[in-house]
Amino acid sequence: MRVSFEQDSVAGADVGHKAVTWIETVAGPRPAADVGVADAHAHLWIAPRVPDAPALTDPALALAELADFAAAGGTLVVDCQPGGCGRDGRVLARLTQVSTVAVVAATGFHLARYYPAGEGPWALGGDASRIQFERELRQGLAEEPTVRAGVVKAAWTGDGGDAERDLMRAALEAAQRAAAAVVVHTDAGAAVEGLVRLVDDSGLTPARVQLSHIDKRPDAALHRDLARAGYVLGYDTFLRPKYDPERHVWPLLRAMIADGLWPHITLGLDLVDAASWHVRGGAGLRAVGRRAGPPAPRGRGRRDRTRSRRRQRGALPRAGQGSRGPRGCWGG
């Protein structure tokens, strides 16, 4: 996100944390203090450019879902679809004209398979893409020049060769120059070690790099190392049975909280199917702030269960809100 910073400290954790003081939304800069529960990896609109890509193309439904999110306390979503593969800044702008939920738009690049052949950042190359990303952060989106991007999306597989490295460098450099954050789509956390080397070379502080989907690689030691190095870990498998959230992301989240590293975590749901929205009968965006956590393991005493629930309830809303919430990690 485009942010400015002030020194802050985090109780119980010396993590070099600095607070974000404002966030660039499609409706303009918004004080970070106004942001409560947020979905840090969301999708409201995807008009796919290729067959077999996720699609979300019903603005009325998106608006209803945002209203439902707002009613549950939601205040902000980061729409993680970059330009050229489904983003429409005009739709995002209209949604925020009628919704109280703030929306952050993304510039940057996604996996090559989401672009028609010969189009988009993969065809443009690193240098031209860096200019394009920076222009969308500083001036406005290609399709809606009155709306600025607030974050740079980037995709990292670690085996995309020079083209992937060039685009990643372009994303990191644009973010560095425009004081923005980068949301990295990782392939289930693969090859983040190589990405860390690129971030080091770029000079961008790791606190401006959110590693999405890293909870699909639930290696607690790796997560601790990344958090202690300053990275922001984007956890987003809470509603994905395929990734066994009860066995993976929830224990991981508890372990990170216990170690005082929760300011380095953002929560998201990454819902790309309208059937997952609450207005269509799914858990919906509201789940990011409302879910109290998985049931306590069987066999515990009543007092322990109560304490455990309270701890989880306390942890989750804070994970998306307040001056010490994970969104604060986007600064630094």
Interface with Zn ion (CB under 5 A):
80, 270
Nearer of residues 127 and 273 to Zn ion, judged by Cβ:
273
Nearer to Zn ion, 19 or 78 (CB): 78
The number of beta carbons lying within 10 Å of the beta carbon of residue 184 is 25
* Shortest Å distance, C-beta 306 to Zn ion: 35
Q: Which helix (H) or strand (E) holds 37?
A: strand 37-42
Closest separation between CB of residue 210 and Zn ion, Å? 12
CA of residue 257 relative to chain centroid, distance:
19
Nearer to Zn ion, 185 or 327 (CB): 185
By beta-carbon proximity to Zn ion, the closer residue of 22 and 133 is 133
Closest contact distance (angstroms) between CB of 1 and Zn ion is 16
Q: What is the pairing mode between strands 5-7 and 18-20?
A: antiparallel
- Other CB atoms within a 10 A radius of the CB of residue 116 amount to 11
CA distances from 93 to 140, 149, 249, 259 (A): 12, 11, 33, 39
Q: Would you say 135 or 270 has its CB closer to Zn ion?
A: 270
Q: Which is nearer to Zn ion, 144 or 270 (CB)?
A: 270
Distance of CA 148 to the CA centre of its chain: 17
Contact 23, 150 (CB under 8 A): yes
Residue whose CB is less far from Zn ion, 24 or 270: 270
Cβ-proximal residues to 25 (8 Å cutoff; 6+ apart), any chain: 76, 96, 102, 103, 104, 150
Least distance between Zn ion and beta carbon 272 (Å)? 6
Measured from the CB atom, the residue of 80 and 257 that comes closer to Zn ion is: 80
Residue 41 or 327: the one with the smaller Cβ distance to Zn ion is 41
Choose among 114, 154, 158: nearest CA to 130. Answer: 154
Nearest to 266 by CA among 12, 20, 87, 24: 20
Q: Closest separation between CB of residue 311 and Zn ion, Å?
A: 29
Least distance to Zn ion, CB of residue 270, Å:
4
Helix intervals (H) in the chain: 59-71, 89-98, 121-124, 126-138, 161-178, 192-202, 220-228, 249-258, 287-290, 302-320
Q: Find the shortest distance in angstroms from Cβ 263 to Zn ion.
A: 23
Work out how close the CB of 15 gets to Zn ion at its nearest, in angstroms, rounded to a whole number. Answer: 26
Residue 230 CB, nearest approach to Zn ion (Å): 23
Query: Measured between alpha carbons, how far is residue 202 from residues 23, 137, 211, 231, 235 in Å?
Result: 23, 18, 16, 14, 24
Cα dist from 135 to 27, 178, 318, whole Å? 17, 9, 33
Is residue 5 within 8 A of residue 16, CB to CB? The reply is no
